[in-house]
A and B are shown apart, each in its own frame.
Chain A
Amino acid sequence: MKRKHKRLTFVGLALLLIAAAAALTLRAFEESIVFFHSPTDIVEKQVSATQRLRLGGLVEEGSVEKHPDAVVKFKVTDMANSINVSYRGILPDLFREGQGVVAEGTFKAGVFIADEVLAKHDENYMPPEVADALKKSGKWDDMSKEMKRQGHVAGETPK
């Protein structure tokens, strides 16, 4: 009986120590674990021109301009700040205005030159009819506002 309890205490304590060590490590590396930075992060931190980084946020409504030679210009916003992005290449299927995206590239004269644009998908799954019905009844805006409030939209770092 005694030995059993000793082993139980030992395993329990060891697991607690490992959990604490993992928590500290992950906290220390928080900056490099985040996959992208929001426009506000970038505006506040004043990144250098040569630094490669990922910018994440929503494609601003009405900002997408298609130019010849497959060049697309758009703004990425987190509702507080927005950044001009220029990208040449094929966009993913989910790319559209109001959609979360992650762009990787560098800044050149205040414009973010992306060489890769990824679409971010959110946690809402529904048939097209349900989406239409929600839009018609006006509940769609409530839902997206609620999502933004909870920090679920790309670009807003939940703190």
Chain B
Amino acid sequence: MLHRFANPTRFLRIASVVQPWMAWATVLLGGAGLYLGLFNSPADYQQGNSVRIMYVHVPAAWMAMFCYSSMAIAAAVGLIWKHPLADVAAKATAPIGACFTFLALFTGSLWGKPMWGTWWVWDARLTSMLVLLFLYLGYIALVNAFDDPTRGTRASSILVLVGFINVPIIKFSVDWWNTLHQPASVIKMGGPSIDASMLWPLLLMAVAFTTYYLWVLLIRIRTEIIANKIRIARLKQVHG
């Protein structure tokens, strides 16, 4: 199964079919989600209109953790089974995940000032999320730090796997310690504690963020494969 998709030629063929679908899904679902979230959903009984920041903040935070988990899986597959496509996928995911993490921190800060009364606090949830951003940035720096790309991939894959321990810490930080950040509203025992009129736009945005990630991921992997082909062709020219 894995071997079948790990073939770059077959992957390129599938990717060129899937990519436009992801682009359209992002535009349509994201457009619908933004419209519902920003204009056609109720204000919150406590937060008023500030609640609308949540429609970007929450999907961005989910994707920040999703991207990191995907990177960890890809890094493990790359290290253990030596699939070259897995390494390419991990490397292609890092900047996207870093952007999602930054977006979650930034929108959270914008929300925090009017609601909590502060831009930033060092509670367990906010701090572990900042650590996630540094893990992404550390990975990006490390993977490009070696002249020999395979050594960079190995070192950075180990970093991703070690850093993966931070993902459950982020998720459960609000349950394990008392924090200023609220506990989970959607993915929790006993079902969501968010009204259906707000849950739907949120889920639409979450799907749109996921298709956006897949869209950009496919572009980045295809670019990387093509760049590799060019590098090999140049090397052949020089040595041939």
The residue in chain B whose Cβ has the minimal distance to the Cβ of A131 is B45
Determine the chain A residues whose CB is within 8 A of the CB of B149 once the complex forms. Answer: none
The residue in chain A whose Cβ has the minimal distance to the Cβ of B45 is A131
Contacts A126-B45, A128-B43 hold; do A157 and B117 have CB atoms under 8 A apart?
Answer: no
Q: Once the chains bind, are A92 and B42 in contact (CB under 8 Å)?
A: no
Q: Once the chains bind, are A22 and B169 in contact (CB under 8 Å)?
A: yes
Contacts A8-B80, A120-B180 hold; do A125 and B164 have CB atoms under 8 A apart?
Answer: no
The distance from the CB of B31 to the nearest CB of chain A, in whole angstroms, is 23
Determine the chain A residues whose CB is within 8 A of the CB of B42 once the complex forms. Answer: 127-129
Q: Once the chains bind, are B124 and A33 in contact (CB under 8 Å)?
A: yes
Q: Once the chains bind, are A34 and B117 in contact (CB under 8 Å)?
A: no
Determine the chain B residues whose CB is within 8 A of the CB of A92 once the complex forms. Answer: 114-117
Instruction: Tell me, in angstroms, the Cα distance from A117 to B54 when the chains sit together.
Output: 23
Instruction: Tell me, in angstroms, the Cα distance from A93 to B111 when the chains sit together.
Output: 12
Determine the chain A residues whose CB is within 8 A of the CB of B122 once the complex forms. Answer: 35
Interface residues of B in 35-70 (CB under 8 A from A): 42-47, 51, 54
Majority secondary structure, B binding face: loop
Q: Once the chains bind, are A35 and B116 in contact (CB under 8 Å)?
A: no
The residue in chain B whose Cβ has the minimal distance to the Cβ of A92 is B117
Q: Once the chains bind, are B76 and A125 in contact (CB under 8 Å)?
A: no
Q: Once the chains bind, are B47 and A94 in contact (CB under 8 Å)?
A: yes
Q: Once the chains bind, are B117 and A119 in contact (CB under 8 Å)?
A: yes
Q: Once the chains bind, are A4 and B81 in contact (CB under 8 Å)?
A: yes
Q: Once the chains bind, are A126 and B47 in contact (CB under 8 Å)?
A: no
Determine the chain B residues whose CB is within 8 A of the CB of A38 once the complex forms. Answer: 178
The distance from the CB of B126 to the nearest CB of chain A, in whole angstroms, is 9
**How many residues on chain A are close to B (CB under 8 Å)?**
44
Contacts A15-B164, A154-B178 hold; do A35 and B123 have CB atoms under 8 A apart?
Answer: yes
Q: Once the chains bind, are B162 and A125 in contact (CB under 8 Å)?
A: no
Determine the chain A residues whose CB is within 8 A of the CB of B194 once the complex forms. Answer: 123-126
Does B197 belong to the interface (CB within 8 Å)? yes
Q: Once the chains bind, are B115 and A35 in contact (CB under 8 Å)?
A: no
Interface residues of A in 21-59 (CB under 8 A from B): 22, 26, 30, 33-36, 38, 56
User: What residues of chain A have their CB less than 8 Å away from a CB belonging to chain B?
Assistant: 4, 7-8, 11, 14-15, 18-19, 22, 26, 30, 33-36, 38, 56, 91-95, 102, 116-131, 152, 154-155, 157-158
User: What residues of chain B have their CB less than 8 Å away from a CB belonging to chain A?
Assistant: 42-47, 51, 54, 76, 79-81, 114-118, 121-124, 161-162, 164-165, 169, 175-180, 182-185, 188, 193-195, 197-198
